[in-house]
Amino acid sequence: MKVKFDYDPGRRQGIIVGDCFQEVRERFSVKNPGAQFARMRGRYIPPRIYAITPGGRFDVGLGGEIHKYIEQTYSNSEINLSENFINVTTPKYDRTDIPKLKLKLRDYQEDIIKECLNHGRGVVVLATAGGKTLTIATLLEHEYKNDPTFKCALIVPDLGLVEQTVNDFNDYGCSFTASKWTGKNPLNLSSNVIVCNLGILQSKNSDVSWLEGVDMCIVDEVHKLRRGNKVNKLFKAINTPHIFGFTGTMPEELIDQWNIVGKIGSIIYERNSYELRKDKYISDVKVQVLELDYATQPTYPRNIKTPSERYRVELDFIIHNEFRNNILSGLCNKFNNNALLLVDYIEHGTVLHNHLTNHCSDKKVYFIRGEVALEDRERVKQIMEMEDNVIVVAISKIFSTGINIKNLHYIIFASGGKAKIKTIQSIGRGLRLHKDKAQLIIFDIGDNLRYGR
């Protein structure tokens, strides 16, 4: 059984041809969840979603996974890899020495950098609070030592992470120059590393043609690179094969995993939260679920037909419920250390902020939402690091990713929700070790209501 892998530089895609092509194409496909509903409405949508086109084309990073599957499945296969395909899927670095910054690397961080240099591209899955930024900084320092003129696009999810990442690079004593490209910070192509957020890259007014000339591209929190997201279009402008993605958690859906691997490369290193806790690199965690029973229940009017509208009725009930809010303020009053309360909606955050301000008189209470200036968010983080008895109510989209606070002992999930990655990422906000923290305690508020259950 003969199979050939090739690379099309014009389209920047891999190509597979061979005797087992149809079977392989089916293997890298999933059921299309929208197909059944489309048929009910008289429209046609293909029953499956494919990662490989009928012509055999695929995102080049997926080549390693396809190759591995064929080797494991067809023992008599004869696989031919073109030189172009090898060069773009495993663009190894010649130099593999690891430079030193101010902070000493942990053993697993050194292993990550070695894997990055040996493979030349790929995804690193490192549990939250495992030190991704220091690892990225050392990888960039290696590139700078090898070529002081190198250019890297470092893509992070939001403005807060742009600021935090550049500040961290300065703290680590990096030799390379790093600049911020945001709505407030102009593009500076003279710097080695341009740290930019997804918003500025996806803006229709932004010129992203400079991406074609970068020597390396790194995507932080790469789990956000889901199939169908607009950010996928950016990769058409990126010419370098040296692309790395870092995340604490890969998405559960196979088609989303294949999309990430296809754009970035195979998973080259993985270390989970349990391993980091066992080796005392991050804080231990205890979870307390507080199940609340209500004397009165929300009313779900019969004229409301959609589940989303009925859920909104229940959400309004818990947001303004005095019993529930008293539970939260009573809980916070028992803390001597800092607490983070995560909510999903501004209205909920406003109500909680006002309630906690009125009922937790000996504590400083802040509310972080989208319109709070970046400088003010940083100021609140610094206050939390320096002081105790601070309560921060925050919108989960803002504080669930990338923000690390060492002096944080309690996290309260004050809203409902069941998104796995957001939950895991939110827990990660408090996993950093601190001299006064024996463990991070999570309080999950479980409302014994129709949707809360």
What local confidence, expressed as pLDDT, does residue 431 receive? 65
- Distances in Å between the Cα of 37 and the Cα atoms of 40, 46, 143, 162, 426 are 5, 12, 50, 41, 33
Does residue 305 carry a pLDDT above 90? no
Contact 298, 314 (CB under 8 A): yes
Choose between 29 and 416: higher pLDDT: 29
Tokens 């309004």 appear where? 316
Strand spans (E) along 205-266 = 216-220, 243-247
Mean pLDDT of 134-148: 96
Mean pLDDT of 378-406: 81
The pairing of strands 48-50 and 29-31 is antiparallel
What local confidence, expressed as pLDDT, does residue 128 receive? 81
What local confidence, expressed as pLDDT, does residue 432 receive? 67
DSSP 3-state of 143? helix
Mean pLDDT of 390-414: 80
Q: Hey, what amino acid is at 326?
A: N
pLDDT in tens, 325-384: 999 999 999 988 889 999 989 999 999 999 999 999 899 999 998 888 878 888 888 898
- Distances in Å between the Cα of 123 and the Cα atoms of 70, 140, 219, 444 are 21, 16, 9, 31
C-alpha to C-alpha distance for 176 and 143, rounded to whole angstroms: 9
Strand spans (E) along 94-190 = 122-126, 152-156, 178-181
In the sheet that 57-59 helps form, which strands lie side by side, from edge to edge? 57-59, 13-18, 2-8, 78-81
Percent of residues, the chain, with pLDDT higher than 90:
57
Contact 200, 206 (CB under 8 A): yes
Q: What is the mean pLDDT of the chain?
A: 89
pLDDT in tens, 313-324: 999 999 999 999
